[in-house]
Amino acid sequence: MPFALLVLALSAFAIGTTEFVIMGLLPDVARSLSVSIPSAGWLISGYALGVAIGAPIMAVATASLPRKRALLILMGIFIVGNVLCAVAGSYGFLMLARVVTSLCHGAFFGIGSVVAASLVAPNRKASAVALMFTGLTLANVLGVPLGTALGHLAGWQTPFWAVAVLGLLSLVGLWFAMPSRSDEEKTDLRAEIGQLRSAGLWVALSMTVLFSAAMFALFTYIAPLLEEVTHLPPQGVTWSLFLIGLGLTVGNYIGGRLADWRLGAALTGIFIALAVVGSLVRWSSPHLIPMEINLFLWALVSFAAVPGLQINVMTFGKDAPNLVATLNIGAFNVGNALGAWAGGSAIDAGLGLQSVPLVAGALGVLAVVATRICMRLAARAERRAAAVVACH
């Protein structure tokens, strides 16, 4: 794998850390800025909405630029956003800084995925994308716990300074390691937008939304589930989250290999496993050892889908790789919000925390249905293309 892929992974690590580290710092932020915990929680929602809304806007804004230059500009925005977070002295300013930071997220992962896939042979594209996303999984394993500990030790602003330094290292790495292919990357903005008329593309994006919803319906409420049903102390929850992070990392690697082998079959099998393993949390949750094993398997299966989903939308949007890959990152965040809402609705309806895994399983089944529809549309498009070639 080219060194440039490791730089992309470092960039993904920095972006993932700044997105999730604030979860462990919410009480500190709330006390420092004199707001409630729920109000501080909106800093997470504000970031997610910034990704979902900003992703297509930034993709269009950078469409006419060579991909290397676009990545450098986006990483520059990321650094500025984290510095603004670090110096924020009020809730409103911090919210604005979080939104500024989020603007780079979707477009960077979208364009970065296209670049990662272009750096390797066709039969290794998903593995290359998986390597880039390994940075995101490692952010959950290492970046978030270390950032949280640093914030408790030296103040909640300190992790943002640290991430800004990581961003600067990424910027230098992108400058020196990323190949320049300006002549090969001329983008026809009209063609990119025209690609959005593809029905297959929207079905592919719906797969991403449903996958993310199935994952985050459970992930959002995993800590209270562990505390109140499995009866783990806070330290035990921390180690469980570390175990989940390991599962995400292993699953990301395996998923890349499976998607390189056979994309449609891999995604179908992964979503079936996600529905089954996620639902089983309902019955394993009162028992510590089965619960820990189940959560590791659930995390592994969950992130095994990520490289394939990214390659899937890029396949449907061949004429608009930057835009569709970026839209897919936005779809992840839409599913993120949908899953949290679905799980919370089940709890609010009085069904209890143990109903959440069943909600996640049901969303996984819907993802399987969307996958089968998507694969049929892909097969139909291939037959149509083959017929056109035969006619000529």
SS (H, E, C) the chain: CCHHHHHHHHHHHHHHHHHHCHHHHHHHHHHHHCCCHHHHHHHHHHHHHHHHHHHHHHHHHCCCCCHHHHHHHHHHHHHHHHHHHHHCCCHHHHHHHHHHHHHHHHHHHHHHHHHHHHCCCHHHHHHHHHHHHHHHHHHHHHHHHHHHHHHHHHCCCHHHHHHHHHHHHHHHHHHHHCCCCHHHCCCCHHHHHHHHHCHHHHHHHHHHHHHHHHHHHHHCCHHHHHHHCCCCCHHHHHHHHHHHHHHHHHHHHHHHHHHHHCHHHHHHHHHHHHHHHHHHHHHHCCCHHHHHHHHHHHHHHHHHCHHHHHHHHHHHCCCCHHHHHHHHHHHHHHHHHHHHHHHHHHHHCCCCHHHHHHHHHHHHHHHHHHHHHHHHHHHHHHHHHHHHHHHC
Identify residue 18 by its one-letter amino acid code: T
Q: What is the pTM of this model?
A: 0.76
Tell me, yes or no, whether 6 and 150 share the same domain.
yes
Shared domain for 34 and 155, answered yes or no, is yes
pLDDT of residue 390 exceeding 60: no
Q: Is the pLDDT of residue 212 over 60?
A: yes
Is the pLDDT assigned to residue 199 strictly greater than 80?
no
Lowest mean pLDDT among 19-28, 64-73, 187-196: 187-196
Range from 30-39, 66-75, 285-294 carrying the lowest mean pLDDT: 30-39
361, burial (CB in 10 Å: exposed 0-12, middle 13-18, buried 19+): buried
CB count within 10 Å of CB 383 equals: 10
Q: How many domains does the chain have?
A: 2
**Bigger pLDDT: 147 vs 101:** 101
**Minimal CA–CA distance to 174: which of 124, 132, 216?**
132
Q: Is there a single domain that holds both residue 140 and residue 285?
A: no
Q: What is the pLDDT of residue 319?
A: 66
Q: What's the pLDDT at 386?
A: 56
15 has a pLDDT exceeding 90 = yes
Q: Are residues 56 and 76 in the same domain?
A: yes
- Residue 382's pLDDT is what? 64
In the structure, what pLDDT confidence band is assigned to residue 183 with cuts at 50, 70 and 90? very low
Residue 158 scores a pLDDT above 50: yes
Question: For residue 129, is pLDDT > 60?
Answer: yes
CA angle 51, 110, 310 (to 5 degrees): 110
Q: C-alpha 52: how far from its chain's center?
A: 11
Same domain, 390 and 348: yes
Asked if residues 135 and 148 have their Cβ atoms less than 8 Å apart, the reply is no
222 and 306 housed in the same domain: yes
pLDDT over threshold 90, residue 225? no
CA 304 to the chain's CA centroid = 12
| Lowest mean pLDDT, pick from 74-78, 151-155, 221-225, 246-250 | 221-225
Tell me: do 245 and 327 sit in the same domain: yes
pLDDT for the residue numbered 391: 62
Residue 372 · residue 207 · CB < 8 Å: no
Highest mean pLDDT: which range of 247-261, 281-295, 366-380: 281-295
d(CA 123, CA 132): 16
- Range 64-80 burial, b when 16+ CB lie within 10 A, else e: ebbbbbbbbbbbebbbb
Beta-carbon count within 10 A of 264 CB: 17
139-155 burial code (b ≥16 CB/10 A, e <16): bbbebbbebbebbeeee
Last residue of a domain, one of 178, 194, 223: 178
Least confident of 178-182, 249-253, 320-324, 387-391: 387-391
Residue 104 pLDDT > 50, yes or no? yes
The range of the structural domain enclosing residue 109 comes to: 1-178
148 and 199 together in one domain: no
Structure tokens at 204: 């592919």
Average pLDDT score, the chain: 84
Same domain, 348 and 293: yes
Poorest-pLDDT segment among 84-88, 126-130, 265-269, 302-306: 126-130
**pLDDT digits 0-9 by tens, 144-154:** 778 878 888 88
Local confidence band at 360 (pLDDT 50, 70, 90 cut-offs): very high
Mean pLDDT in residue range 39-55: 80
Percent of the chain residues past pLDDT 90, beyond the cut: 31
Q: Rounded to an integer, what distance in angstroms lies between the CA atom of residue 103 and that of residue 170?
A: 17
pLDDT of residue 76: 96
Same-domain status, 172 and 255: no
Residue that is last in its domain, among 116, 148, 178: 178
Residue 172 and residue 104 share a domain: yes
Same domain, 190 and 209: yes
The average pLDDT across 63-80 equals: 91
Final residue belonging to a domain, choices 143, 178, 213: 178
Average pLDDT over residues 309-319: 77
The CATH number assigned to the domain holding 95 equals 1.20.1250.20
